[in-house]
Amino acid sequence: MSAPLHGMRVLDLSQQLPGPYATLLLAALGAEVTKIEPPAGDAARHLDPEMFENANAGKTSVVLDLKTDEDRRRLHELVRGHDVFVEGFRPGVAARLGCDAETLHAIRPRLVYCSISGAGQTGPLARHPTHDISLQAMAGVLTDGGDVTRIGVPWVDLATGSSAALAITAAWHAGEGCHLDLSMLDAAVAWARVKPSALEPGPEPTYGTLRTADGGRVVIALLEDAMWARLCVALGWTDWATEPGLAAYGDRRRRGAEIRDRLERDVARLTVAEVVALAEKHDLPLGPADATADPAAREQIGLRFPADGGPSCLPLPAALLRPLAPAPPRR
């Protein structure tokens, strides 16, 4: 893949995941990213070292203490030679540290200044501390009653970073200075509204995980009407196969609990291997819930994300092969 962002120079003061993921995408597309860390380092270095390494691969790290006049001057000098500035502070903090948009635009008017925050720069929650799951709650995606006891894939963080990278790229190509106000709340609400039916109560009839007779789990992702017909054949549901009231997805959604109950009972009589065999025979989106060891899945992932950093659908693999340069020692 060519480097479409070759020539873009980025200063990244953000920590944890949304901002660093945004600049990881920029770096993977050819931008030169310098990560500015406080003397204690990015909090993710200690909270989640593996995530830190992955999200900051391919960047150069510099330590600055912006509570000192000397290091604020050093930052201002760096800004003169950079095109993009990313910060992830709560509103008001950047101004106290002398790196707010107004101050830096006075130094470099064409700077693309991107603020990434929990809820935006203004409003009653602007200064409120928040994390990924907090924004999921505001977007209404935790209303199904299930308890969450661990950090899974932080999709709000990653959605925010992806949106920020896209906005930064567009602004950089426009060639004019600007202040981008990106928030995690934006991403959470926007993504939740793409599929509002996902927020409706009750189970999806044929979507999710199911228990099998041998104590395993399988995952089903079946929405299309034609696949519903094939599922009925596979499980011997002759009564439902020809029922007009279940032929359309919307009708099945209204009878979700009934369908789900029958599906769980029938799958519970089969082993994982038997479910996989049915899926192969009837061309159904059914398979092991943990497919990480599946040879076909591993081969497919290897094709999409070559270990040697070769051409890929996303530029991340090559970037991840380049480790973050260690932060220099403090003077």
Secondary structure (DSSP) of 20-40: HHHHHHHHHTT-EEEEEE-TT
Active site residue 157: yes
Going by their DSSP bridges, the two strands 112-117 and 84-87 should be labelled as parallel
The mean per-residue pLDDT over the stretch 147-172 comes to 90
Architecture of domain 9-194: 3-Layer(aba) Sandwich (3.40)
pLDDT, one tens digit per residue, over 92-109 is 999 999 999 999 999 999
The greatest distance separating any two alpha carbons of the chain, rounded to the nearest whole angstrom, comes to 78
**286-288/217-221 β-pairing:** antiparallel
Measured distance CA(309)–CA(329) in Å, rounded = 31
Strand order in the sheet with 112-117: 60-63, 32-37, 9-12, 84-87, 112-117, 178-183
pLDDT of residue 177: 96
Q: For 35-50, give one letter per residue: b (16+ CB within 10 A) or e.
A: bbbbeeebebbeeeee
pLDDT digits (tens, 9 = 90+) for 277-324: 999 999 999 999 888 778 888 888 777 777 665 555 566 655 555 677
Residue 32's beta-bridge partner residues? 9
Which architecture, in CATH terms, is 207-293? 2-Layer Sandwich (3.30)
CA distance 113 to 264: 51
Q: What is the pTM of this model?
A: 0.84
| Model pLDDT for residues 178-236, shown as the tens digit of each residue | 999 999 999 999 988 887 766 566 678 999 999 999 999 999 999 899 999 999 999 99
Catalytic residue among 42, 100, 157, 186: 157
% of the chain at pLDDT higher than 90: 63
Q: What is the pLDDT of residues 255-270, one digit of tens each?
A: 999 999 999 999 999 9
State how beta strands 9-12 and 32-37 pair: parallel
Query: What span, in angstroms and rounded, lies between the C-alpha atoms of 48 and 140?
Result: 27
User: With the C-alpha atoms ordered 267, 271, 275, 278, is the resulting torsion angle positive or negative?
Assistant: negative
Mean pLDDT, to the nearest integer, of 44-49? Answer: 90
Would you kindly state where each structural domain of the chain is located, as residue ranges? 9-194, 207-293
Residue-level pLDDT at 275:
95
Predicted pLDDT of residue 159: 94
